[in-house]
Amino acid sequence: MEFVRPLEPILIIDDVQDIRDYLNQILTELGFEDILESRDFESAKTLIVEKSPNVIFLDIELPDTDGTEILEYLNDNYPHTYVVMCSGHNSLENVQNTWELGAKGFIAKPFNAKKVDTVMKRLELI
């Protein structure tokens, strides 16, 4: 029998409440239950330390810091956490940059349930 690494808890870091709500709703409809939210990196740090999320959906553009800086921090300090970058700017350069920095996925905004489901299924295979 093959061991599948659990994907929960899941943390959503995005400064826009509507985006967090929508992504939370999608994940809930996909069957996930342990979903955390944060509007910025400062408040996310506490959740990361206390809850050890296995998946983090991370907005590239946050008011308190750049998402790529957070990605580097997470890779250095939490290398087993899967980070999925989210952005409204899905240029090839943006996507390539996040992959090179160690993201395990990229979702362009506006996203939908199918995109989120595809990314989560891909993470289960890593």
Note whether residue 43 is domain-resident. Answer: yes
Note whether residue 3 is domain-resident. Answer: no
C-alpha 35/C-alpha 10 separation (Å) is 5
Q: In terms of residue numbers, what domain contains 20?
A: 10-124
Note whether residue 74 is domain-resident. Answer: yes
Note whether residue 80 is domain-resident. Answer: yes
Query: Domain total for the chain?
Result: 1
Count the residues in the chain. Answer: 126
Q: What CATH number is attached to the domain comprising 30? A: 3.40.50.2300
| Model pLDDT for residues 13-42, shown as the tens digit of each residue | 999 999 999 999 999 999 999 999 999 999
C-alpha to C-alpha distances, 122 to 82, 84, 104, 109, nearest whole angstrom: 11, 11, 9, 18
DSSP secondary structure of 59-109? ESB-SSSBHHHHHHHHHHH-TTSEEEEEES---HHHHHHHHHTT-SEEEES
Note whether residue 18 is domain-resident. Answer: yes
pLDDT for position 83 = 96
Cut 0.85: pTM above it: yes
